[in-house]
Amino acid sequence: MRALVIVLGVAAAATATVARASSAPTVGAPLPIHASSLAQEGQDLVWQLTLEQPFSPGQLARDGRSLCLLIERARGGSVEGEACIEGPARHSSRPRIVYSRVSATSTAPGHVIDATIKRVSSSELTATFLPSAVGLGYAPLRWQAISTLRQSACAPPAMGSAGCFTLFPATPALLALHTPELVGCVAAGPSLVYQGSSHVREIALTFDDGPWYEPPPSAFLDVLEREHVPATFFEIGDNISKYDPTGAYEQRMLADGDMIGDHSWSHPDVAALPVSQQREQLLDAAAAIRRATGGFTPCLWRPPYGDISPSLVSLARSLGFLTIMWDVDPRDWALPGVGAIYENVVTHVHDGAIVIQHFGGGPRYETVQALPHEIETLRGEGYTFVTVAQLVGLRLIYK
Residues taking part in catalysis? 208, 358
Distance CA 228, CA 207 (A): 16
Q: Is cis: bond before 215, omega within 30 of 0? A: yes
The 10 Å Cβ neighbour count of residue 190 is 12
The 10 Å Cβ neighbour count of residue 290 is 18
- Provide the β-strand partners of residue 121: 124
Question: Which helix or strand (DSSP H or E) is residue 387 part of?
Answer: none
CB 52 within 8 A of CB 34: yes
Nearest alpha carbon to residue 391 among 222, 163, 202, 148: 202
CB 10 within 8 A of CB 124: yes
CB 132 within 8 A of CB 50: no
Distance CA 85, CA 88 (A): 10
Distance CA 261, CA 229 (A): 17
Distance CA 212, CA 304 (A): 16
Distance CA 63, CA 69 (A): 19
The torsion region of residue 111 among left (phi > 0), alpha (psi -120 to 50) and beta comes to beta
The 10 Å Cβ neighbour count of residue 214 is 10
